[in-house]
């Protein structure tokens, strides 16, 4: 049973338990007590009937306390059941044989209700009631009360009261089944709503990314189609490489848990490798997730350096003291590299036929883990 099913079942069962406790207390106080007072002379000693009745009231009161505290008998139901049956036997032994099955025999009709209080499973309830009725029938036989009238009266009383008790017990079991079905339906509805909300979020995210790609790729494609952009122009080539990297990132994205910055950087590296550039890549250190403008500047710096590479490049993505550092060493010259976001620092060093480009972003208040 799932947590939702257990919660709903507990709420429904508590209402039924309250009704059961009220029924038992009403029988003990409104029916048994007057009969006990009227027939107290049938008990020997006279206080035995009141003592047994007081124990039954105490058990019913304990059940009421458990219900009020949202608790159950648990394994304590077995000692409580033995106690209740013991009280029934003791009170029956103290009763005059002639009064067995009569109004002073107050335990005959109420003991089964304690089974309803203690046992939620129908099999346990039937066993408890069966043991009690069998013992009471044994007392009638031992007392010589086997005439037809007595046995028929006993059977009518036992059948009438027991059928009502079993009906209430079966209602509790049916309520558990209803609770499971209701909880399952609620869980299914919640899952459906979650799926719809997730689909809406995914759709909105895709639309956002599509609009970003269109903003980058469509103008370039229109310029190329119109002939206003020269494919041999290094600037056009860099713009095309960046747009291609973003397209590859969008189509190859594996999930929300993937590092977007590393994924787009991998796409840029793949484009360079397709041009025949030998790229060495390393990644280390914990990093925060940069906002989109910062990520675009970091990737733009790396993309410019990779696009300028002729035959070899070395790329590093690192987390250094809470900052994101993207470094590229190539055998080409990308020219000046600048970032649009003011919080992104770029540096370019040229020497010995190589160019080193670094882009760095350090967020405030981020602590490396």
The pTM of the full predicted model, rounded to 2 decimals, is 0.50
Where does the pLDDT of residue 156 fall: very low under 50, low under 70, confident under 90, or very high at 90 and above?
confident
Q: Tell me the helices (H) and strands (E) count for the chain, helix number first.
A: 10, 5
Q: pLDDT averaged over the chain? A: 83
pLDDT of residue 10: 65
- Does residue 88 have a pLDDT over 90? yes
Confidence of residue 57 (pLDDT cuts 50, 70, 90): very high
pLDDT of residue 249: 55
**pLDDT above 90 as % of the chain:** 27
Under DSSP, the state recorded for 263 is: H
Angle, alpha carbons 129-71-132 (nearest 5°): 10
What is the structure's pLDDT at 3?
Answer: 60
**Beta strands, E only, the chain:** 278-284, 312-320, 323-330, 344-351, 354-361
Domains and CATH numbers, the chain: 3-188 (no CATH), 260-361 (3.30.565.10)
The predicted pLDDT at position 50 comes to: 94
Q: Which residue has the higher pLDDT, 303 or 160?
A: 303
Is the pLDDT at 81 greater than 70? The verdict is: yes
Going from the C-alpha of 293 to that of each of 151, 297, 365, the distances in angstroms are: 92, 6, 19
Q: Per residue in 90-99, pLDDT tens?
A: 999 999 988 8
Show Cβ contacts of residue 7 under 8 Å, excluding neighbours closer than 6 positions. 183
Q: Is the pLDDT of residue 52 over 90?
A: yes
On the question of pLDDT at 198 being above 90, the answer is no
> In this model, does residue 161 exceed pLDDT 80?
yes
Residue 83: predicted pLDDT: 96
Sheet holding 312-320, edge to edge: 278-284, 312-320, 323-330, 354-361, 344-351
* Residue range 220-248: mean pLDDT, rounded: 77
Percent of the chain with pLDDT over 70: 86
* Phi–psi pair at 355, nearest 5 degrees: -125, 130
Measured distance CA(96)–CA(315) in Å, rounded: 101
Question: In this predicted model, which residue has the larger pLDDT, 249 or 329?
Answer: 329
Region 261-276: mean pLDDT is 85
Give the residue carrying structure tokens 């600037």: 235
Return the higher-pLDDT residue of 177 and 9: 177
Question: 9-26: per-residue pLDDT in tens?
Answer: 667 777 778 888 998 999
Q: Write the pLDDT tens digit of every residue in 104-137.
A: 888 988 999 999 999 888 888 999 999 999 999 9
**What pLDDT is stored for residue 206 in this prediction?**
72
**Under 8 Å between Cβ of 248 and 267:** yes
Lowest mean pLDDT of 160-174, 276-290, 320-334, name the range: 160-174
What pLDDT score was predicted for residue 89?
95
Res 367 pLDDT > 60: no
Q: Look at residue 359 in the predicted model and tell me its pLDDT.
A: 92
């Amino acid at each position: 049973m799932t947590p939702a099913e257990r919660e709903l079942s507990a709420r429904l069962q508590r209402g039924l338990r309250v009704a059961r406790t009220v029924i038992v207390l009403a029988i003990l106080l409104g029916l048994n007590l007057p009969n006990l007072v009227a027939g107290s002379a049938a008990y020997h000693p006279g206080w035995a009937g009141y003592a047994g009745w007081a124990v039954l009231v105490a058990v019913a009161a304990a059940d009421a306390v458990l219900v009020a505290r949202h608790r159950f008998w648990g394994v304590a139901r077995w000692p409580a059941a033995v106690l209740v049956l013991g009280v029934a036997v003791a009170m029956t032994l103290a009763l005059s044989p002639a009064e067995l099955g009569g109004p002073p025999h107050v335990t005959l009709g109420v003991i089964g209700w304690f089974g309803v209080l203690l046992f939620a499973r129908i099999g346990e309830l039937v066993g408890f009631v069966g043991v009690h009725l069998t013992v009471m029938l044994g007392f009638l036989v031992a007392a010589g009360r086997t005439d037809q009238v007595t046995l028929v009266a006993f059977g009518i009383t036992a059948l009438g009261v027991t059928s009502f008790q079993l009906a209430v017990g079966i209602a509790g079991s049916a309520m558990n089944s209803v609770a499971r079905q209701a909880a399952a339906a609620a869980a299914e509805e919640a899952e459906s709503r979650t799926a719809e909300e997730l689909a809406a979020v995914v759709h909105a995210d895709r639309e956002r990314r599509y609009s970003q790609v269109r903003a980058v790729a469509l103008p370039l494609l229109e310029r190329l189609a119109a002939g206003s952009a020269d494919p041999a122009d290094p600037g056009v080539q860099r713009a095309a490489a960046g747009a291609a990297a973003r397209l590859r990132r969008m189509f190859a994205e594996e999930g929300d848990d993937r590092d977007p910055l590393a994924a787009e950087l991998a796409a840029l590296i793949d484009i360079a490798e397709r041009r025949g550039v030998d790229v060495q890549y390393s990644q280390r250190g914990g990093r925060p997730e940069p906002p989109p403008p910062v990520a675009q500047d970091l990737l733009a710096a790396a993309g410019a350096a990779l696009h300028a590479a002729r035959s070899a490049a070395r790329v590093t993505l690192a987390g250094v003291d809470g900052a994101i550092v993207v470094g590229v060493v190539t055998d080409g010259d990308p020219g000046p590299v600048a970032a649009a976001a003011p919080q992104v620092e770029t540096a370019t060093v040229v020497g010995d036929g190589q160019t080193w480009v670094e882009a760095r972003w350090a967020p405030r208040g981020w602590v490396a883990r």
